[in-house]
Structure formats: structure tokens, C-alpha cells
């Protein structure tokens, strides 16, 4: 790229960066207050609070506005996302204005903003608004947040409407309590019991079932068919196939924080690892299932929610995300059956779940009643921890109210992402150490490349680390969806909190952004992409078994490069119009299937991922070469790189073609030029560059050096001449 052109690109890049920075550092509190005010300006007062003729200013903690009829205070209007966490399936808040009377009755509500893909794609907004209207008249003080009005769940938007309904009631309760206008709601006393963490020993599976430590929900096909038939006549016309006594789902649930239960179900080592992971007052539950119905469902994707199970305790309804979930292979307790599905779920610290108090796990069972419609039933597994796992607490000593309130408020005000970083300090250290090692490899590549065997071993080891630890274990697989989400947030309502939720992804993105200026996209694509590493290992195995390799003709190969850029530009353009649609179509990346979910997904996605891996057996890194939109997205800003690290000889390309022939991704043009937009920085060409046994240029230099040494050595030239003469005579 020429100097003037580079300057223009740099100026544009710096300008955009400054704009993004200014957006990002806007005061969060000001954004929150203005958000509530802005939404109130969009909705008539009578729609949110009928009977009110005016609203007061935004005030208090949590923020809300008072609704008046003349001088008479009727209640409050609040924004659910200002009071409680209202993150939906999209990973972004769902904003609902709620009017609640002083007596606890919801008098008005309206969804004013959201980013839910399932709603944006095909479900009319009016369906969601109708669901919300079903909460009008619901009294949160008399019925509590665990009860729900008789409203139908919107088929296809289960997670969205559940989030809306529960955040409306929880937010209303908190505002009423904070204003002191809810005499029916009293501050709960501190817990009277706690887990007995001193207990020793383990129990068999039968003993755990016998004393109630593990609870069971068994549903047969006949029972589920009867329940659906009673709830919806359309569901009765589509019964679950099978015998009435066939197992629909056999579900077992238990908390694993209590030591006896945890050691029995997990084993000593796994239980110790779990306790090291859990924060103070944080708990985990284990869910085990078998039968034809999966408790995991289709929502357990990166950034998404499990859409079939929900943990409920008092006011809190906890929906688990993929980061809260660890897949287990078996149950350690003696005599336990083999379960095809075992999940370990950690309740987020922000939800203050207490395993010592009663709770219930709610299972959502869905059935299709039309081409695009579904209906739902819920079944509860009630759980109350057996007394032998508990210890009574003495009555708490009175504490100075300001100090106690200040401590509680500080804990409540702490951003969730802070705890996420604290919980992953070890993983953060491992990632930073690996990035430091990789930086050393690139900075000292000239020294390393002179030792091809060492280079190959280091690269193989690092790729193995990337695939196993970074990908399959830590789920730190970058995606083009991250870029689309960031771009969308920059032009809408930017907040660092969502991007800081996953510290490994945040650090990885920061490192990749910096590496683009030094080494283009090769540092990520060639070393830090788990799916890229998987493709490379698949190709190595194929070569080991003598699978024939396909060499794509250069003319065709060069044109196929453009496909991934067209895919990225299409996704980027679509994301401006509809981020939800772009996220759906971003499934062109098999990363979620092969890395995040480890192929535990619906068969079309698995077949697609396996097809790409099969293609990589014959064409190394087939997906990276021609289809990867993330690689294309990284290649565009990589044009601004400031250094050229890859060395070339004058003979490269003319006449020598060895590097071009041996390049794993064919990123070297026939004229010897390396296309950094396609290069994965594997350093293979650099090991050839320094190799005086394989590189023609280096071979010539070596031969000249050897001749010079022979001439300078005593008796060297005559001996060589005699040998030559003898050879000629022969």
C-alpha cells in the first residue's frame, strides 16, 4: 500500500477509534437516567399509569418516577432493566416500562426496546405486547413473583417472555420496598440455617434417593399426552408417539455444594475443583436426565440461555447461560445409572441463590401445534435439603444499620463482570502466559525459523493447546458475531459491561486487535483459532494415512478467496438492518457446533461441520481459505499493519516456487509475493528461507561457502581436482 493511501486509511481508523472511545466513556449513570426519561417521552402517561395526570422526576435507588393524580401519590413508573437484570436470549437487556400502584398492582406495562432475535425475525411485536398486558391487574404483594397470571407463553419466544414477566414483577417489588410504600412486604430475616460444610463421607445412589438428597421427576409419554390434551385441544391432535408407559423424561436434581452430596455425585477431585471455582455464598446444582426429551434444549449456545429449565427461589427466577454450565460424563455415586445428559449448573453470584433454603427446578415441555406454533407445559421438581446436611444458625447480632446497608448495597452495585473476572483469574493467567509465548515466537521468528524441527514442535504444541484448552475447555472461540454485535452496539447504546462478561474473549479480542498492526490476521488464524487448529490436525492425520491432496489451480484458487469477503460483507450489511438475522446466518461458521458445543447439537449443524472437516482432509484449511467470514473481517483492518516480518529472496517466485508449492494455504503468488490477507503465519516459508538444504538460494550460498573453505584449507583444491579428473576418466 502506498504512503498517501496508508495515511488516509490511518486517519480514518484513528477518527473512528476516537468516536467509539467517546461513545464508550459516556457516564453510565447519565445514560441510565436519560434512558428512562427518553422512554417515558415515547409513551402516554395514561397507557402506563391510567388515572395519573402527571409524573414526577426520575429519582431514588432504584430509579423510578412517582405517578400523581393531583397531589395524590398513586404509585410508580419504572424501567425493569434499571432495577433488575433483564438480559434476554440476545445477551442484551429487554426494556419494559411498568406502572405499579402503592398497593402492589401492576396497572400498565409496555415493552419499549429489545434486541431479541426470535422476536425480530418472525414473531409480531403485538404478540409480546399482548403477553405483557396479561400482567395488568396482577398484584405482586398478594401473589408474589413466583405466581404468574393466566397468560399464554408466546410460542417460539419462551425465553423472551419469561424474562419479561419475571423482571416486571421483581422490579416492581424492589421499587415498592425501596419507597417504604409496601406494608405487606417486610424485610426478610436472615437465614436460620446454613449448609453443614464439615460433614464427611459419601453415599450410594440408593441412599441419596432414599433420604431425599436427590429428587426425581418421572414423566411418561401417556402422562404428557394427557396433560397437553387437557391444556390445549390442538396439542391433543399431535400426541407424542409411543406406548403410554414409555419414558418421556426421567429427571434427577440435587445440589452439589453440600459436601456429602457433592462428593458422592462428583467424586473427590471434581468436588474439590468445583469448590475452588465457586465464590463466597455461591452454589451449584446437578441435573441428570434420560428419556426422549432433553432438559438442555436448543438454547444452550454461546451467550444464550437454556430454554427448558429454570431455577426458582423466592423472588428469583434463575435462567442459566452457557457460561454457567459444565457438561458431565457420569455420576460418581455407587450404583448410579448411566445418564446420557448430565449438567452441572452454577448459580450466578448476582442471584444470591441459597441451597440451604427451599427451591424448585422448573422443566418446560414444549409441543408443536402447527407449522410455526408451539404450546408449553411446566413441571416442577421441588427441593428442600434434608436436615442432616444443615446446621442451625444463631440469631444474628444487631449491627449498625448504616454499615450493614452500605455493605449490602456495595455488593448489589458491584457489576457482574467484576465477579466473572475474579472467578477466572487462573484461566486469565494461563491465557496471558500463552499470548506472551506467542508474542515471543513472532518477535524472535528469525532465530526460531533457523531451527525447523523446533519450530514445528512449538507450533504443534501451541495448536494442541489452542484446540483443547482454549477451544473445547474454555470455549474461547472468536466469531464474526462478536464483530457484528460490537458494531451494532457502537451505533446504538454502547456499554462495556456486556463485552466484559467473558474475560477470556475480551482479552483474546484485545490481543488480536493489537496483533493486526504487527502480523496481520495470521497470529489469530494460524495460531489462536481452535477450529483452524482442528482443521489442521484433521489434514495431518489424513496425510499420515496417505489421503491424496487436491491442489486447486491458482486461477480458480485466487477467485475462491473472494467468497469469504462476500459472506462477511453480506453479514455486515444485514446486521445494520437486522442483527438477529445476521446472527442466524452467521451459522455459516461451524465454530459453535464443533468447538463450543463439541458436536452436541441438532444433526444438520453437525453434518455441516463434519462436511467442512472432511473437505479439510483433501484441501488443508478448506474453510479458512474460502468461507471464513471472521478471517475476511480481520483481513480488512490488517491492511494497516506497520511491519513486514516475512523475508523473501530475490529468487523467490522467479525461478524458485518451492515456498509457493509447500505453503499450507497457498497464500504465496506464483511471482513469490506473500498475500498477507491470506497468510496464517505458520512460519513454514521462513524455515525454508533459512534452510541451506532445501532453499535453492541458501543451497547456492552454502556451496559457495564450502568451496571457499575448501580452497582456503591446505591441500583442499588439488584433492578435489584429482577426484574430478578421476571421475572424468572413469
293 and 252, same structural domain?
yes
357-371, 510-524, 668-682: the lowest-pLDDT one = 357-371
- Average pLDDT over the chain reads 79
pLDDT category, 628, cuts 50, 70, 90?
very high
Q: What length is written for the chain?
A: 730
CA dihedral 21, 24, 27, 29 (to 10 degrees): 180
CA dihedral 718, 722, 728, 729 (to 10 degrees): 150
If you ran DSSP here, which 8-state letter would residue 250 be given? Answer: E
pLDDT at 152: 54
Instruction: Render pLDDT for 78-117 as a digit per residue (tens, 0 to 9).
Output: 888 888 777 665 556 788 899 999 888 989 988 888 765 5
437 and 508, same structural domain?
yes
228-242, 252-266, 657-671: the lowest-pLDDT one = 228-242
544 and 613, same structural domain?
yes
Query: Which has the higher per-residue pLDDT, 190 or 713?
Result: 713
What average pLDDT does the segment 654-679 reach? 86
* pLDDT reading at 29 higher than 50: no
614 and 497, same structural domain?
yes
Residue 518 placed within a domain: yes
Where does a domain end: 126, 155, 179?
A: 179
What would you measure as the largest C-alpha separation in the chain, in angstroms? 123
431 and 382, same structural domain?
no
* pLDDT reading at 617 higher than 80: yes
Residue 383 placed within a domain: yes
Residue 411 placed within a domain: no
Residue 310 placed within a domain: yes
In angstroms, the CA 299 to CA 314 distance is 25
pLDDT at 24: 40
Beta strands in 2-137 (DSSP E): 54-55, 65-69, 72-79, 95-101, 106-113
Q: Are 312 and 362 in contact (CB under 8 A)?
A: yes
214 and 79, same structural domain?
no
pLDDT at 408: 39
Point out which residues pair with 364 in neighbouring strands. Answer: 378
Residue 400 placed within a domain: no
Q: Is the peptide bond before 655 cis (omega within 30 degrees of 0)?
A: yes
- Put simply, whether the predicted model's pTM sits higher than 0.75 gets the answer no
pLDDT category, 619, cuts 50, 70, 90?
very high
173 and 202, same structural domain?
no
477 and 608, same structural domain?
yes
What average pLDDT does the segment 130-145 reach? 77
Residue 520 placed within a domain: yes
422 and 299, same structural domain?
no
The number of folded domains in the chain is 3
Residue 229 placed within a domain: yes
125 and 237, same structural domain?
no
Percentage of the residues of the chain whose pLDDT score is greater than 90 = 25
pLDDT category, 501, cuts 50, 70, 90?
low
DSSP-derived secondary structure for 11-29? HHHHHHHHHHHHHHTS-HH
211 and 302, same structural domain?
yes
What average pLDDT does the segment 345-367 reach? 85
Q: Computed from CA positions of residues 578, 580, 584, 587, in that sequence, does the dihedral angle turn out positive or negative?
A: positive
CA dihedral 225, 226, 227, 231 (to 10 degrees): 100
CA dihedral 571, 417, 162, 75 (to 10 degrees): -120
Instruction: Render pLDDT for 439-454 as a digit per residue (tens, 0 to 9).
Output: 999 899 889 988 999 9
If you ran DSSP here, which 8-state letter would residue 187 be given? Answer: P
The boundaries of the domain holding residue 153 are 22-179
pLDDT at 10: 47
Residue 410 placed within a domain: no
* pLDDT reading at 410 higher than 50: no
In angstroms, the CA 240 to CA 229 distance is 11
* pLDDT reading at 193 higher than 50: yes
Q: Is the peptide bond before 568 cis (omega within 30 degrees of 0)?
A: no
In angstroms, the CA 515 to CA 535 distance is 22
Q: How many other C-beta atoms are found inside a 10 Å radius of the C-beta of residue 96?
A: 26
Q: Are 257 and 276 in contact (CB under 8 A)?
A: no
pLDDT at 304: 58
Phi/psi at 449 (5° precision): -65, -20
Query: Which has the higher per-residue pLDDT, 716 or 308?
Result: 308
Burial of residue 269 (CB within 10 Å: 0-12, 13-18, 19+) is: exposed
465 and 329, same structural domain?
no
176-190, 198-212, 302-316, 519-533: the lowest-pLDDT one = 176-190
Lookup: cell for 58: 426520575
* pLDDT reading at 428 higher than 80: yes
* pLDDT reading at 723 higher than 50: no
Amino acid at each position: 500500500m502506498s504512503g498517501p493511501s496508508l495515511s488516509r486509511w490511518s486517519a480514518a481508523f484513528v477518527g473512528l477509534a476516537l468516536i467509539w472511545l467517546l461513545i464508550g466513556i459516556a457516564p453510565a449513570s447519565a445514560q441510565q437516567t436519560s434512558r428512562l426519561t427518553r422512554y417515558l417521552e415515547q409513551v402516554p402517561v395514561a397507557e402506563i399509569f391510567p388515572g395519573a395526570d402527571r409524573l414526577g422526576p426520575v429519582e431514588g435507588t432504584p430509579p423510578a418516577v412517582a405517578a400523581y393524580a393531583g397531589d395524590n401519590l398513586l404509585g410508580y413508573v419504572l424501567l425493569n432493566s434499571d432495577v433488575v437484570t433483564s438480559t434476554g436470549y440476545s445477551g442484551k437487556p429487554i426494556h419494559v416500562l411498568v406502572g405499579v400502584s402503592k398497593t402492589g398492582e401492576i396497572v400498565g406495562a409496555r415493552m419499549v426496546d429489545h434486541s431479541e432475535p426470535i422476536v425480530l425475525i418472525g414473531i409480531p411485536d403485538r404478540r409480546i405486547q399482548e403477553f405483557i398486558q396479561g400482567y395488568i391487574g396482577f398484584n405482586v404483594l398478594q401473589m408474589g413473583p413466583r405466581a404468574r397470571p393466566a397468560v399464554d407463553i408466546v410460542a417460539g419466544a419462551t425465553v423472551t417472555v419469561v424474562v419479561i414477566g419475571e423482571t416486571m414483577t421483581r422490579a416492581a417489588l424492589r421499587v415498592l420496598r425501596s419507597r417504604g410504600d409496601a406494608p405487606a412486604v417486610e424485610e426478610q430475616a436472615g437465614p436460620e440455617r446454613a449448609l453443614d460444610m464439615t460433614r464427611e463421607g459419601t453415599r450410594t445412589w440408593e441412599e441419596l434417593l432414599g433420604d431425599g438428597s436427590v429428587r426425581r421427576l418421572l414423566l411418561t409419554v401417556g402422562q404428557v399426552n394427557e396433560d397437553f390434551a387437557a391444556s390445549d385441544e390442538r396439542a391433543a391432535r399431535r400426541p407424542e408417539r409411543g406406548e403410554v408407559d414409555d419414558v418421556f423424561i426421567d429427571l434427577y436434581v440435587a445440589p452439589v455444594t453440600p459436601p456429602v452430596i457433592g462428593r458422592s455425585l462428583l467424586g473427590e477431585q471434581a468436588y474439590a475443583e468445583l469448590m475452588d471455582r465457586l465464590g463466597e455464598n455461591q452454589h451449584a446444582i446437578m441435573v441428570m436426565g434420560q428419556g426422549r426429551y432433553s432438559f438442555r434444549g436448543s438454547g444452550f449456545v454461546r451467550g444464550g440461555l437454556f430454554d427448558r429449565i429454570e431455577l426458582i427461589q423466592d423472588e428469583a427466577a434463575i435462567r442459566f447461560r452457557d457460561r454457567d454450565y459444565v457438561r458431565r460424563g457420569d455420576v460418581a455415586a455407587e450404583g448410579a445409572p448411566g445418564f446420557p445428559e448430565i449438567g452441572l449448573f452454577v448459580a450466578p453470584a448476582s442471584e444470591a441463590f441459597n441451597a440451604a433454603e427451599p427451591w424448585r427446578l422448573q422443566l418446560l415441555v414444549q409441543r408443536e401445534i402447527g407449522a410455526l406454533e408451539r404450546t408449553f407445559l411446566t413441571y416442577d421438581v421441588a427441593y428442600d435439603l434434608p436436615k442432616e446436611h444443615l446446621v442451625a444458625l444463631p440469631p444474628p447480632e444487631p449491627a449498625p444499620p448504616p454499615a450493614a446497608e452500605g455493605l449490602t448495597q456495595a455488593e448489589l452495585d458491584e457489576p457482574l463482570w467484576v465477579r466473572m473476572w475474579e472467578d477466572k483469574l487462573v484461566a486469565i493467567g494461563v491465557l496471558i502466559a500463552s499470548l506472551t509465548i506467542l508474542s515471543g515466537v513472532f518477535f524472535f521468528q528469525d532465530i526460531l525459523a533457523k531451527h525447523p524441527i523446533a519450530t514445528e514442535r512449538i507450533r504443534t504444541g501451541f495448536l494442541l493447546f489452542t484446540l483443547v484448552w482454549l477451544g473445547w475447555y474454555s470455549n474461547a472461540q472468536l466469531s464474526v458475531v462478536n464483530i457484528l454485535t460490537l458494531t451494532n452496539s457502537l451505533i446504538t447504546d454502547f456499554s462495556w459491561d456486556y463485552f466484559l462478561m467473558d474475560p477470556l474473549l475480551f482479552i483474546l479480542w484485545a490481543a488480536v486487535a493489537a496483533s493486526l498492526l504487527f502480523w496481520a490476521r495470521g497470529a489469530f488464524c494460524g495460531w489462536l483459532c481452535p477450529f483452524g487448529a482442528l482443521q489442521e490436525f484433521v489434514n495431518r492425520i489424513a496425510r499420515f494415512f496417505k489421503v491424496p491432496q487436491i491442489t486447486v489451480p491458482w486461477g480458480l484458487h485466487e477467485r475462491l478467496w473472494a467468497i469469504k469477503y462476500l459472506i462477511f460483507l453480506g453479514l455486515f450489511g444485514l446486521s445494520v438492518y437486522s442483527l438477529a438475522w445476521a446472527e442466524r446466518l452467521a451459522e455459516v461458521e461451524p465454530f459453535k457446533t464443533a468447538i463450543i458445543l463439541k458436536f452436541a447439537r441438532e444433526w444438520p449443524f453437525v453434518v455441516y461441520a463434519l462436511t467442512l472437516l472432511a473437505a479439510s482432509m483433501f484441501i488443508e484449511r478448506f474453510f479458512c481459505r474460502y468461507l471464513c467470514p471472521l478471517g475476511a473481517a480481520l483481513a480488512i483492518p490488517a491492511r494497516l499493519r506497520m511491519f513486514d516480518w516475512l523475508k523473501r529472496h530475490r529468487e523467490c517466485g522467479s525461478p524458485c516456487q518451492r515456498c509457493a508449492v509447500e505453503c499450507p494455504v497457498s497464500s504465496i503468488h506464483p511471482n513469490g509475493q506473500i498475500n498477507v490477507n491470506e497468510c496464517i503465519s505458520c512460519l513454514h516459508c521462513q524455515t525454508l528461507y533459512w534452510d541451506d538444504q532445501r532453499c535453492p538460494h541458501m543451497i547456492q550460498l552454502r556451496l559457495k561457502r564450502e568451496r571457499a573453505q575448501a580452497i582456503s584449507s591446505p591441500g583442499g583444491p588439488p584433492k578435489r581436482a584429482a577426484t574430478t579428473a578421476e571421475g572424468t576418466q572413469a
